[in-house]
Amino acid sequence: MNAAATYAANIAAAIRTSLMDRTNFILQSLGMVVNDVFFLTLWYMFFAGFKRVGGWGLTDVALLLGLVMTIVGIAGVFFGGFRDMAAVILRGEIDALLTQPKGVLARLLARESIANAWGDIAMGLWMLATFAGLSWREIPFVLICLIGGTTVYVASAVVYASLAFWFAGARSFARDLTDFMLMFSSYPGSIFTGATKFVAYTLLPAGFVVLAPVTFLRAPALASFAVIAASALGYAALAALAFQLGMRRYRQGKVAIG
């Protein structure tokens, strides 16, 4: 409970900081909304000519995009520290956290709240409520998907950032991998076959961030729910392990800081 309270206090402070400059906050959020609308428009124009592709229609893609935008928005607002975690590790800024109560990873995630992520949340929820073909009765299922998808997304970003404990090139490589994961998550699952499908369910787990949740929302079943739950728990455990192993190297002075 103390760890949860500490995290809540830290992220609340980060959110207040992100909202201090109201003009900047509004501009960033509106800019993200415009970007999301443009992306949706491209898909709308595509499906105007091709009604269905690999079993996916506009409603299915709207559901996928709504989930992705909301997941990315939640991650940015409430766990925004993942974005620059690799750089923070390489700059040696973890030292200040080691003198404080345990919960280094939680404190790193709560260091920042990304202002424009509110635009993603607003746009994602709007798409889920309008174009995705969902009903009010499916809200509990949507919440399950958002929790599972956000967990996998943030956990994967933590794993990528933890590479900074082993090599300095992770400063940009971690963000590139997170961006690739987001890109993979923005396309219908029918396009992934063979090697790309393997990557989408392992290294860049778009399959667990959003494709498995879409399957669950299309046809709720115990098996698809189990996939969401198992992937969330598995990637969270992997992130915790990768970070703890990295912290062991850090405490031993094996990380090149600069």
Q: What is the pLDDT of residues 120-153, one digit of tens each?
A: 999 999 999 988 889 899 999 999 999 999 999 9
* For range 164-179, the mean pLDDT: 90
Residue 148 in any domain: the answer is yes
Residue 257 in any domain: the answer is no
Cα atoms found within 13 Å of the Cα of residue 88, Cβ hemisphere only: 24
Check residue 1 and give its pLDDT. Answer: 55
Which two tokens mark 3?
């760890």
Q: How much is the pTM?
A: 0.93
Residue 215 in any domain: the answer is yes
- Any idea what DSSP says for residue 134? -
Residue 256 in any domain: the answer is no
The whole domain housing 116 covers: 2-251
Residue 258 in any domain: the answer is no
Instruction: Look at the alpha carbons of 18, 37, 181, 218 in this order and tell me if their dihedral is positive or negative.
Output: positive
Percent of the chain with pLDDT over 90: 58
Non-local CB neighbours of 157 within 8 Å, separated by 6+ positions: 75, 82, 83, 85, 174, 178, 181
Q: What is the pLDDT of residues 178-208, one digit of tens each?
A: 999 999 998 888 888 889 899 999 999 999 9
Which among 72, 67, 64 has a CA at the least distance from the CA of 189? 64
pLDDT at 245 over 90: yes
Residue 203 in any domain: the answer is yes
* Alpha carbon distances (Å) from 228 to 49, 192, 222: 33, 19, 10
User: How many structural domains comprise the chain?
Assistant: 1
Residue 195 in any domain: the answer is yes
